[in-house]
């Protein structure tokens, strides 16, 4: 007779939350933002005006519009999120601004909760991250709502200032979590790239236009659905084209073409100066098991985590690339065998220490750890080596590392 195992208690499940495994400072910040969002929402709804029948009708229309938008653009949004490691702004933010500008606060919060509940299975992020993002959206929406209800300027000017308030609040909340969670974060990482900030501004502009249109024609939200769905598709096409040019869209690293261009420049410099150059080829061990066990989104999460380890552990000036599948490549300027081995060992240890939050094939949160990598090195002394020869030697060294037991660094000999 099979033994019955008691189901874990609620307390043990709470203790197993991924949130508690985060660094203390980051954990405190996440909880503080969520508590602030709850308190601010309670205060704002207490001081709010009573909804009217027209508000109820408008709420229902917005809920329908948001639902249709998310259903139609679901696959596009999943693809974007699977291929972006960092902060992500969806066109759904436009609906948040429409709700804040045209509905009482309590109904605007209903729209936010409705959209975030539908976004959770799409987002493929751990629950604590999704909850934190939702809290940040609530705080930004309440900041915009406070501006709109100020009454100190014409409505069009208030809407413009509300957009700025929403953008600024989101920037502060997201910038704070990046600063605390990424030890090597630069000011550009915290502030966001120009492309990401421009996209966020365009989404808010779309929301402002929809809000103005809704004030004149109550069915305007339905007209906004195809426009935002088309925007989702167009943005994905631009991101894919951009990634195909020089960067890998899953990790943001240089792709084969981009890496070879940068590597050729470094080799040309090495020939002029007579300096040594090393190449490292990295092959993740048993990576197929990740995809087979948890699904391809989990595999993509591991690839993004590996790219983060590479950025954090290599030296400034080292050239990082992904050649596809589970293979990564480094070009290490001014490196002899000893210096290259030191870099490779840091990378190997960093990958072994990874604990990657992801979701399984059913969307349940999982932590993927215990991953290892085999690394092959080749060294070109005096700037005389050719790139193809360095790559062949490093590839052969990877094979030696694999057959020698994996999770190790091997230095190849020129062949």
The pLDDT of residue 230 is 87
Pick the last residue of a domain from 222, 245, 268: 245
Local confidence band at 332 (pLDDT 50, 70, 90 cut-offs) = very high
pLDDT over 70 at 337, yes or no:
yes
Question: Is beta strand 277-284 parallel, antiparallel or unpaired with respect to 327-333?
Answer: antiparallel
Residues 147 and 284 grouped into a single domain: no
Q: What is the CATH number of the domain that holds 372?
A: 3.30.70.270
In the structure encoding, which two tokens stand for residue 270, read together? 């090495």
Residues 237 and 120 grouped into a single domain: yes
In the structure encoding, which two tokens stand for residue 167, read together? 């953008």
Q: 81, 123 in Cβ contact below 8 A?
A: yes
Q: 147, 165 in Cβ contact below 8 A?
A: yes
pLDDT over 70 at 43, yes or no:
yes
Dihedral angle computed from the Cα positions of residues 350, 296, 17 and 183, in that order, rounded to the nearest 10 degrees: 30
The pLDDT of residue 3 is 42
Pick the last residue of a domain from 195, 213, 245: 245
Pick the last residue of a domain from 214, 245, 276: 245
SS3 280: strand
Residues 27 and 78 grouped into a single domain: yes
CA distance 17 to 231: 36
- Residue numbers of the domain that contains 66: 10-245
Total structural domains in the chain?
Answer: 2
CA distance 252 to 240: 11
Residues 36 and 149 grouped into a single domain: yes
User: Residue by residue, what is the 3-state secondary structure of 378-409?
Assistant: EEEHHHCCCHHHHHHHHHHHHHHHHHCCCCCE
Residues 227 and 188 grouped into a single domain: yes
- In tens, the pLDDT along 44-63 reads 999 888 899 999 999 999 99
Residues 140 and 108 grouped into a single domain: yes
Residues 222 and 267 grouped into a single domain: no
Summarize the confidence of residues 151-173 as an average pLDDT: 92
CA distance 383 to 38: 60
Residues 225 and 285 grouped into a single domain: no
* pLDDT over 70, % of the chain: 86
With residue 411 as reference, give the H or E element that holds it.
strand 409-411
Strand extents, DSSP E, 215-371: 277-284, 319-324, 327-333, 355-359, 365-369
pLDDT over 80 at 354, yes or no:
yes
- How long is the chain? 415
Residues 217 and 320 grouped into a single domain: no
Q: Is residue 398 part of a domain?
A: yes
Return the DSSP state at 253.
Answer: S
Q: Is residue 3 part of a domain?
A: no
- In tens, the pLDDT along 260-279 reads 988 988 888 888 778 889 99
Q: Is residue 2 part of a domain?
A: no
Residues 30 and 89 grouped into a single domain: yes
Residues 70 and 153 grouped into a single domain: yes
Q: Is residue 360 part of a domain?
A: yes
- In tens, the pLDDT along 16-39 reads 566 777 778 888 999 999 999 999
Residues 53 and 101 grouped into a single domain: yes
Q: Is residue 112 part of a domain?
A: yes
Buried b (16+ CB within 10 A) or exposed e, 271-299: eeeebbbbbbbbbbbebeebeeebbebbb
* pLDDT over 90, % of the chain: 51
Q: What is the pTM of this model?
A: 0.62
């Amino acid at each position: 007779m099979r033994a019955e195992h008691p189901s874990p208690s609620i307390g043990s499940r709470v203790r197993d939350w991924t949130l508690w495994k985060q660094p203390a400072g980051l954990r405190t910040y996440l909880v503080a933002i969520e508590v602030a969002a709850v308190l601010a929402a309670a205060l704002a709804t207490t001081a709010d005006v009573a909804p009217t029948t027209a508000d109820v009708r408008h709420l229902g229309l917005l809920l329908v519009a948001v639902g249709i938008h998310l259903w139609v653009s679901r696959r596009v949004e999943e693809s974007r999120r699977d291929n972006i490691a960092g902060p992500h702004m969806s066109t759904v933010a436009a609906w948040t601004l429409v709700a804040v500008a045209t509905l009482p606060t309590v109904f605007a919060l209903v729209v936010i909760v409705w959209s975030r509940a539908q976004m959770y299975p799409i987002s493929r992020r751990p629950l604590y991250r999704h909850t934190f993002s939702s809290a940040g959206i609530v705080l930004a929406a309440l900041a915009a709502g406070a501006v709109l209800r100020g009454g100190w300027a014409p409505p069009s000017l208030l809407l413009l200032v509300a957009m700025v308030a929403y953008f600024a609040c989101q920037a502060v909340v997201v910038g704070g979590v990046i600063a605390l969670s990424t030890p090597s974060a630069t000011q550009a990482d915290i502030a966001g790239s120009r492309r990401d900030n421009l996209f966020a501004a365009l989404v808010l502009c779309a929301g402002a236009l929809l809000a103005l249109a809704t004030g004149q024609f109550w069915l305007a939200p339905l007209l906004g659905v195809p426009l935002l769905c088309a925007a989702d598709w167009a943005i994905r096409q631009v991101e894919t084209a951009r990634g195909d040019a020089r960067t890998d869209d899953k990790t943001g690293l240089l792709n084969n073409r981009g890496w070879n261009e940068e590597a050729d420049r470094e080799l040309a410099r090495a020939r002029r100066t007579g300096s040594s150059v090393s190449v490292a080829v990295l092959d993740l061990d048993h990576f197929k098991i990740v995809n087979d066990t948890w699904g391809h989104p989990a595999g993509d999460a591991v690839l993004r985590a590996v790219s983060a380890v590479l950025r954090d552990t290599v030296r400034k000036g080292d050239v990082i690339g992904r050649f596809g599948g589970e293979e990564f490549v480094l070009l290490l300027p001014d490196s002899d065998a000893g210096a290259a081995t030191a870099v490779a060992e840091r990378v190997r240890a960093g990958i072994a220490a990874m604990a990657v939050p992801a979701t399984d094939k059913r969307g349940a949160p999982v932590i993927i750890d215990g991953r290892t990598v085999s690394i092959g090195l080749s060294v070109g002394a005096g700037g005389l080596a050719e790139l193809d020869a360095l790559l062949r030697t490093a590839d052969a060294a990877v094979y030696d590392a694999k057959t020698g037991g994996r999770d190790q660094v091997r230095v190849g000999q020129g062949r």
